[in-house]
Structures are given as structure tokens and as C-alpha cells.
Structure 1
């Protein structure tokens, strides 16, 4: 098994801008480090469950049942659209509310759901891992090893993103700046929703 090659592949993929990166950066900037860190652990949980379910055969089920794939895409998109609407609605007040993600618990839950409802996250694991197995069967033991490597790398990157994004939180003490950034954040979440809808099973 080429663990180093797999780790580098995961690192490159995680450094490519995507839904988690955009969402975590915007969340940390608008809601602060505490909620951002809670979201990171939620994302990590979602990725872990993804890997376990993929190893158990969910990715194969998604290939055989395109209706399930479509349902997951629309559920994920609907959740992100709702969050975008809540965030945008919160910009109408003089001091914008934080109803979109008002607590660490909600940030954690949202981070988990974003990944559980992203069908491509399941396919990623079974599509990438076999290329580094050197003929070995994936098996539960190897799957858990690669999963732990993948989640560790992703979480480290996500933590760095949240720490960097939270540095802008103090700058957002001005209500006017907060409104502008929250609207940008709402647009980012809208973009994530569109990416869910546009994803194809390939």
C-alpha cells in the first residue's frame, strides 16, 4: 500500500477550493472561531461516516441507484439554500442576527450534514483509495487506515482555514461590514447549493 502517495493525493484534493473550505472560511469570519471549530469537528464526523459507509458499499449502491444519488444531491442543496436564505435575512437588521448558525452545536450539526448529504464524498473514498492499494484488497482494516489518514489531513487543513478566517471576525465589529460579509457568505452557501445540484455521477 502506498500510504505516502495516498496522503499526498488527499492533501492536494483538500487544498483545492471546495464546499467545505468556502463554508468554513465564511463561517469563521462571520460567526467567530468557536463556531468555526465546532463546524470543523462536525465536518470530520461527516467525513468519517462517509468513509465507513463507502467501505461498507454505499458508493456501489449509489452507482446502482441513481435516484438515491439525485435525492441526496437535492437534500444537500435544499439545506444549503435554507442556510443561505437565513444568513441573508439576518443582514436586514442594524445588528444582524446570527440565526443561520447561532451556536457551536448548530455549526457542528451543519458541518456533519453538509458532508453526509454530499454523495461525491462517498465516491471519493472508493475512487481514490484503490489506486494506492498495490493490488491489496481494500478490506475493513485498510479502509480504516486510509480513512484515518484522509480525515486527519482534511481536519488539519480545515482547522487552519478556521483560524485564518476567524482573524477577520474582529474586523467585522462594524455592523456595516458585517452586513456586507454576511451577504457574501450567503452567496457562497448559494454557490455550494448549486455545486450539489450540478454534481454528476462520474
Structure 2
């Protein structure tokens, strides 16, 4: 395929993949929450959470590609509203982690409902994470070139590549945390384990409040 026929400049693909991989490997709300879910509830629960996180990122990516995210960046009160809603949501997740779990009656319906809840938490947490908006608005244009596809095509292509990298990194976090869970639960159980999970989520909420401050 001729160089100019590529939807994006092929010379930016590898640097872009390296950049987004480094960003995804930087500790943040997604990494912390996914690790905690997988430690406490296992691999399948973690993967359900990954699905929700991915859909949330995809929505931000599409909003940025179509120019909708600029409204969030241009109006500080709206940005602050999303920011603090995200922090409060993480604190609510911490409270939820601290509460004793209701008795599990078993069954496929109960398991499906639990996975659906984790999917929705991952989705909501990312929709209330303004760092995702900042990422797409700030990073994508630096890898777009005027002599290739239309801006929308380039934004969607690069955004799709980022989603692939995010899924790979987040899945690796889930699998690693789920594998480490028996080592942790053998030492920390019951109330102490719930307190550890809740403290981790509080730390993630405080980190996000600090990182997204104006």
C-alpha cells in the first residue's frame, strides 16, 4: 500500500503504541481498581470490569473524535463536575468494598448479576474520569498528519489502537492480580481484607483528585 494511502502515517504507529503503553502502565484509577477487583473476586470478575472500562474509554474516544469532548475542556465548571463525581464514585466503591458481602445463594443468575454490576462500575468510573478526555484531546492530535486520512478517520484509527493496548494491559493486570490473590488471602482475611481493599480504593480516589486538579 502506498505510504499516502494509509489512514494514518505508518511512521507514527510504533511511537503511538509505545506512548499509550507507557500511559496505560502508569498507576492510575483503572489499574488500581481492576487489581483490587481481581484480588477480591477473581479473574472472571476482573474481566467483566475490563469490559466496562473498555466501553467507557471507547465512548470518550468517540466523543473526542467527533469534537464533543472539547466542550468539557472549554467549560471549567463542567470539567470540575465530572472530576468530583469521579472522585465520589471511587469513594463509594471504597465504602462498598468495606461493607460485608451479603450471603451468596449461588446460581448462575447471581453470578451474572455480579458481573453485570462490575461492568457498569467500570463503565461509570471511566465516564466520570476526566483524564480519559484529556488523554484523547491532548494526545491524538500530536500523531495525526494532514497528508493522510481525514481527521476523523485518523482519530478513530489511533483511538482503536489505544483501546487494543488498553485491553491487553488491563487483562494482564487482572490475570496477574487473580493469580496473586491466593497468596494475599492466605495472610489477610475477613475484615482486614475488606479494609485493605477499601483503603486501596480511597488511595486511588485521592490520586485522581490530585492528578486532575486545575
Q: State TM-score, norm by structure 2.
A: 0.82
Alignment of 1:182 onto 2:194: yes
Deviation at 1:196, TM superposition (A): 3.4
Could you report, residue by residue, the CA deviation over 1:48-74 in whole angstroms, capped at 9, with x for unpaired residues? 001001112233112221111011011
Mind listing any 5+ residue stretches in structure 1 that lack a counterpart? 91-95
Q: Match of 2:58?
A: 48
The CA distance in 2 between the partners of 1:177 and 1:138, in whole Å, is 55
From the CA coordinates, give the structure whose radius of gyration is larger: 2
Q: Match of 1:39?
A: 49
5 Å-filtered alignment, 1:146-165, equals 146-165=158-177
User: Aligned residue pairs: how many?
Assistant: 195
Does the CA-based 8 Å contact 2:28-2:207 persist in structure 1?
Answer: no
Mind listing any 5+ residue stretches in structure 2 that lack a counterpart? 1-8, 105-110
Distance 1:22 1:166, change over 3 A: same
Q: State TM-score, norm by structure 1.
A: 0.87
Out of 124, 129, 145, the residue aligned to residue 118 of structure 1 is 129
Structure 1 runs of 4+ aligned residues shifted over 6 Å read: none
Once the two structures are overlaid, the 10-residue window that deviates more, 77-86 or 54-63, is: 54-63
1:10 match: secondary structure: helix
Alignment of 1:130 onto 2:141: yes
Deviation at 1:175, TM superposition (A): 9.3
What value does the CA root-mean-square deviation take over the aligned residues?
2.4
The CA distance in 1 between the partners of 2:75 and 2:19, in whole Å, is 28
Deviation at 1:180, TM superposition (A): 2.5
